Each structure stands twice: as structure tokens, then as C-alpha cells.
Amino acid sequence: MIRTRWWPFAAATGLVVLLAATGVIPTWPGLVHLVALPPLDMFADLRVLLVVTDSWPQFLFLLTVVGACRIALLAWLIGGTHPWGVAMAFYAVTFAPTALAAFSTTASYAVLYSRIFWPAVALTVVMVLIFGRCGGGVSTHSGRR
């Protein structure tokens, strides 16, 4: 029997609400996406980091911190015998398309009447359909009875 581990999501949601309430992260209607399922979680993080960081070194540092947190959360959710390897492989495979979708979507919002808006939305939908299905097939069974 495969058991779903929902309590890590509850902990992550509580942490995001606490960070938003204290003003550490900005609040906006898309705040719920910061606790979204992969790969939309990294997509939301990249979009926020692109807007709020002041320099590329700051962006890369915060991306490393956020990426480590996302990998840890996914490994926590997966459980099992090799959760860290599966989580790192998942984010390694999905990073390039996620980054391209996040950069395109952020740029399309920044440029008034941008022609890349709908292609960026289409890329995001395709990315979620392809990689969301891959992530959904990961077993959360820990192997213990």
C-alpha cells in the first residue's frame, strides 16, 4: 500500500505563511504557488527571484539556497531508499525547461504587449504536462511494513 505523506506539505505551507506574515517574502495573489507541486514550485521561485534580486550573484546565491530547500522537501516527500538522488535528478532534468519558462513568462510580463506571452504560457503548460507526469510516478512507499 502506498501512503501519501501530506504533513511535509503542511509544514512547508506553514513556513511560507510565516515568512509572508513577517515580511521576509513578498505577498501577492500567487503566493500559494510557492508551495506548489514540482515543477511549478521552482517555476514560482525563479519568477520571484528574477523580480526581487538586485544582482546576478545575489540571484545565484538565493537560487542555490531555494534549490537546496526544494530538493530537501521533495526528498522528504518521496521517502524510500534513495530520496535524495531521485529529488536531485528530478530537479536537474527539469531545471532548464523550468528556467526557460520562468524567464520567458517574467519577460513577457515586463514588456508591454510582448509577443512572447502566449508562447511562454504554452511552454509552461507543456513543461507541467511532461514533468508533472514524471514526478507523479515516483513512489512514496518507504519499503517498511
- Residue closest to 45 by CA, chosen among 24, 29, 59: 59
Task: Specify the number of domains making up the chain.
Answer: 1
Mean pLDDT within 99-114: 81
The reply to whether 145 falls in a domain is no
Report whether pLDDT(105) > 60.
Answer: yes
DSSP string, the chain: -PPP--HHHHHHHHHHHHHHHTTSS---GGGGGGGPPTTHHHHHHHHHHHHH-SSHHHHHHHHHHHHHHHHHHHHHHH-SS-HHHHHHHHHHHHHHHHHHHHHHHHHHHHSTT-TTHHHHHHHHHHHHHHHHHHHHT-----S--
The reply to whether 45 falls in a domain is yes
Pairwise pLDDT comparison (5 vs 131), residue with the higher score: 131
Grid coordinates representing 117 are 506571452
The reply to whether 107 falls in a domain is yes
Q: Averaging pLDDT over each range in 12-16, 33-37, 69-73, 75-79, which range is the top one?
A: 69-73
The reply to whether 66 falls in a domain is yes
Radius of gyration of the chain (CA): 16
Mean pLDDT within 23-37: 74
Which pLDDT belongs to residue 144? 46
The reply to whether 143 falls in a domain is no
If you count them, how many residues does the chain have? 145
Mean pLDDT within 113-119: 77
Please write the tens of the pLDDT for every residue from 32-56: 666 777 888 888 889 889 988 999 9
The pTM assigned to this predicted structure is 0.70
Range of the domain at 29: 7-136
The reply to whether 141 falls in a domain is no
Mean pLDDT within 96-106: 88
Report whether pLDDT(122) > 50.
Answer: yes
Which pLDDT belongs to residue 26? 75
The reply to whether 144 falls in a domain is no
The reply to whether 142 falls in a domain is no
- Residues 55 and 82: their CA atoms lie apart, in Å, by 36
Which pLDDT belongs to residue 62? 94
62 Cβ contact list (under 8 Å, min separation 6)? 49, 53
Q: What is the distance in angstroms between the CA of the first residue and the CA of the last residue of the chain?
A: 9
Mean pLDDT within 98-103: 89
